[in-house]
Amino acid sequence: MLPLRRLHRGVKNLRRYSNVAPTTKLFIDGQFVESKTANWIDLHNPATNEVVTKVPLTTHDEMTAAVESCKNAYESWSKTTVLTRQQYMLKLQALLRRDIKKIAANITEEQGKTLPDAEGDVMRGIQVVDHSCAAGTLLQGESLQNVAKDMDIVSYKCPLGVTAGICPFNFPAMIPLWMFPLALITGNTMLLKPSERDPGATMLLMELLNEVGVPPGVVNVIHGTHDSVNFICDHEYIKAISFVGSDKAGKYIYERGARNGKRIQSNMGAKNHAIVLADADKDATINQIIGASMGAAGQRCMAISVCILVGESQKWIPDIVKKAKELKVNAGHEPGTDLGPVISSQAKQRIIDLVDAGIKQGAKCVLDGRNVKVEKYPNGYFVGPTILTDVKVDQDCYKEEIFGPVLSIMSADTLDDALKIINSNPYGNGTAIFTSSGSAARQFVHEVDAGQIGVNVPIPVPLPMFSFTGSRGSHHGDLHFYGKQGLNFYTQTKTITSLWRQGHAVTKASVSMPVQ
Ligand code: NAD
C-alpha cells in the first residue's frame, strides 16, 4: 500500500490522497464519469507543489456526448415554468451557503488563495444565484396596447438554446456562478469548461445541482485546453459563449466564435489604477490600496496594480511600504495568512521576470518579494508583497498585466495628469480615486474612461443587480455579465404584433406601407 499523506492540516473537510492522485471527472448527463482519454494534466497544490488531482483532456467523443446531452435537455428544460426554475435556484442558494466552507477548502487546495478569501469567492457567486431567484420579474418583456386600431404588441425574453462557459483559474467558484445560474434561469442549457488549473469547485457545484434535482444534461462539464475551447467555438449546437480569462484567449474565442455566428461575451485582462489625492484619509486609503493590490496574491482582474500618487501624497510611500511589509505570506489554509501562493511556478517566474524588467528599465524596487521564503512550504509558488516606484508608461512592468502581488507606484502633479495616464492605458476594467473632495471625485467619475469606478472604494465590482461593466481592452462584446445585461445576453427577444378587429373585417388588400 502506498503511504497516505495529509493535506490541509487544520482545515475542516480534510481529504486524504494516496500517492496516486485521484482524477477529476467529467459531468455528462448528470453523471460523474471517468474520461477515457490518454492525456491528463497534473494539478499541483500551489502551496506544496504536490499533485492533488489529474485533469483529463476530454476526448472528442466525450465532448460530443456532453453537447448532445445539453441539446436533448434543452427540449424539456426550455419549456419548464419560470417558477420551477426559480425553485431550483432557491434550493441551490441554500446548498451553496451550507457548503461554502467545503467549496472554499477545495479552492484553497487547487488555487492557493486564503480560506477566508476563498469563501468570498463563493459568496460573490452566491449573490448572482440570489439575484437570479427574481427571474419572474427580471424576465418580463414589454407590452403596449393599441399601437394601432385593435392592435397590441408584446415582447418576450426567450432562451437561445445550448450555451457555453469557459472559465479562468482565479475565481474557481464565482465565475462559473456568473454563468450557469443565469443561463439556466433564462431557459438555456450550458456546457461548462472550468479552468484546467482548478476545476474542483465547478465539480462541487455540479454535485449541488444534482442534489437540487436539476434534470440531467441541463449543465454538462468538460475539461481541457485548446481542443475543448475550439470544440466550443465551432460546434453548431452552441449559440452563445461566455468567456472570462486572458486577452490572448479572449480575443481568439471572440473571433473564432463570432465567425461561427455565436453570441460572445468576453471579459479579459486589466490594469487597474488608483489615484490618490493628498486630501484623502491617509490610513484608510493606504489600507485599502494594499488590500486591493496584494489580496489573492494580486491575482484578481480588479486588483489595484497601479497607484498614482498626486502631489503631496507622494510623501506616503514609506507608509505604504510599511503596511505591505506587515502582510503574512503562507499557505492559504494556514490561519492568519494574508497572501497565499500564485497559481504555478511559471506564473511566479513571469512575475519575477516583469519585476526584473521594470528595474532594468528604471523602476525602483522599494519592497522586494521575489525571493520570499516560506519555511514550512519550501516548494510552494510564493511571491511576497512587492512595490515598484518610479514606474513609467513605457516600462514592461506597466505595459503588461503582472497578475501577482506587485504594486506599481507612479507620480503625477495634478489630477488631470493622472487622468491622462489612465485614459491612455488600453484597459478599462476598473479604477478608483481616493479623496475627500467632492468636486475632484466628480471630475474623475465624469472624465475617466473605465467601466467600473470606485470613489474611496478600491475594488468597485458591482453587485449582481447591476452588471460587471469592464470596458475598452478588458471586454469584447455588447452585453456584460450578470444583472440586466447578463439576462439579455442569454435571451433573444420575440415580439408579437396582434390584430383582433372589433366589428369590421379587413376587406381590401393593402399594398402600401401605412403612413400613420
Ligand atoms: P487564460 O486565458 O489562461 O484561461 C482562461 C480559459 O481559456 C481557460 O479555460 C483556458 O483553458 C482557456 N485558454 C487559455 N489559453 C487559451 C488559448 N490560447 N486558446 C484558447 N483557450 C485558451 O486565463 P487565466 O490565466 O486562467 O485567468 C487570468 C486572466 O483572466 C487574467 O488576465 C485576468 O485579468 C482575467 N480575468 C478577467 C476577469 C474579468 O472579468 N475581466 C475576471 C477574472 C479573470
pLDDT of 301 strictly over 80: yes
Active-site option among 167, 233, 301, 365: 301
- How far is the C-alpha of 153 from the C-alpha of 146, rounded, in Å? 8
Chain-centroid distance, C-alpha 392: 29
Model confidence at 9, pLDDT cuts 50, 70, 90, reads very low
Mean pLDDT across 407-414: 98
β-pairing, 272-276 with 304-310? Answer: parallel
- How far is the C-alpha of 458 from the C-alpha of 469, rounded, in Å? 16
**308 close to 275: Cβ distance less than 8 angstroms:** yes
Residue 301 among the catalytic residues: yes
Mean pLDDT across 166-186: 98
Q: Which of 170, 228, 425, 485 to mutate to test the pocket of ligand 1 (most atoms within 8 A of CB)?
A: 170
Decide if the complex's ipTM is over 0.90: yes
What pLDDT digit, counting tens, does each position of 257-272 carry?
A: 999 999 999 999 999 9
What pLDDT digit, counting tens, does each position of 80-118 carry?
A: 999 999 999 999 999 999 999 999 999 999 999 999 999
The residues lining ligand 1, judged by C-beta closer than 6 Å to any ligand atom, are 166-171, 193, 195-196, 225-226, 229, 244-246, 248-249, 252, 267-270, 301, 401, 403, 429, 468, 470, 474
Mean pLDDT across 365-376: 98
Pick the residue whose CA is nearest to atom 11 on ligand 1.
Answer: 225
Rounded to the nearest whole angstrom, what is the distance from the C-alpha of residue 152 to the centroid of ligand 1?
A: 46
**141 close to 135: Cβ distance less than 8 angstroms:** no
pLDDT of 425 strictly over 80: yes
Rounded to the nearest whole angstrom, what is the distance from the C-alpha of residue 218 to the centroid of ligand 1?
A: 24
Ligand 1 atom nearest the C-alpha of 301 is 34
Chain-centroid distance, C-alpha 469: 12
Pick the residue whose CA is nearest to atom 24 on ligand 1.
Answer: 168
Residue 392, pLDDT score: 98
Query: Going by C-beta distance under 8 Å and a sequence separation of 6 or more, which residues neighbour residue 322?
Result: none
Residue 516, pLDDT score: 64
Rounded to the nearest whole angstrom, what is the distance from the C-alpha of residue 486 to the centroid of ligand 1?
A: 19
